[in-house]
């Protein structure tokens, strides 16, 4: 059985990540590009932590395609980082709205649906 403490930690981290995504989107909407860089960096770090925490137990979890969704989210983060590096974030809001945010939400919802039964059991 997967480690319940790790699952609880991961579920809490997902909530925090969602708050960070909302913050970044709001700041980008205000055209406050500089105000998003640190939080975006924290989001990438949190994503890496989630990946590391679930990696050892992924095969023990119910049938899922979370690794593919993680890859898609990693590519979305990469797109956002490249945008900041090349154009100083001129298209960052568009990337957030149409790529990063929907990909994150899909990944988060799937991960929660996979992990929550192990905490409730």
Quote the pTM value. Answer: 0.91
Q: What is the pLDDT of residue 77?
A: 97
Q: What is the pLDDT of residue 99?
A: 97
Contact 39, 24 (CB under 8 A): yes
Contact 77, 47 (CB under 8 A): yes
Assign a CATH topology to domain 4-120.
Answer: 1.20.120
The rounded distance, in Å, linking the Cα atoms of 118 and 67 is 18
| pLDDT averaged per 10 residues, the chain (length 121) | 85 97 95 90 96 84 84 96 88 95 97 87 56
Contact 63, 72 (CB under 8 A): no
């Amino acid at each position: 059985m997967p480690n319940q403490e790790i699952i609880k930690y991961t579920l809490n981290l997902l909530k925090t990540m969602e708050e960070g995504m909302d913050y970044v989107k709001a700041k980008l909407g205000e055209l406050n590009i500089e105000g998003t860089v640190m939080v975006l960096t924290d989001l990438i770090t949190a994503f890496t932590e989630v990946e590391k925490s679930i990696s050892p137990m992924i095969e023990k979890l119910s049938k899922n395609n979370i690794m593919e969704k993680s890859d898609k989210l990693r590519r979305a983060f990469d797109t956002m980082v490249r945008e900041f590096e090349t154009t100083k974030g001129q298209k960052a809001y568009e990337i957030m709205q149409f790529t990063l945010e929907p990909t994150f939400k899909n990944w988060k919802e799937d991960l929660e649906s996979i992990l929550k039964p192990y905490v409730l059991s």
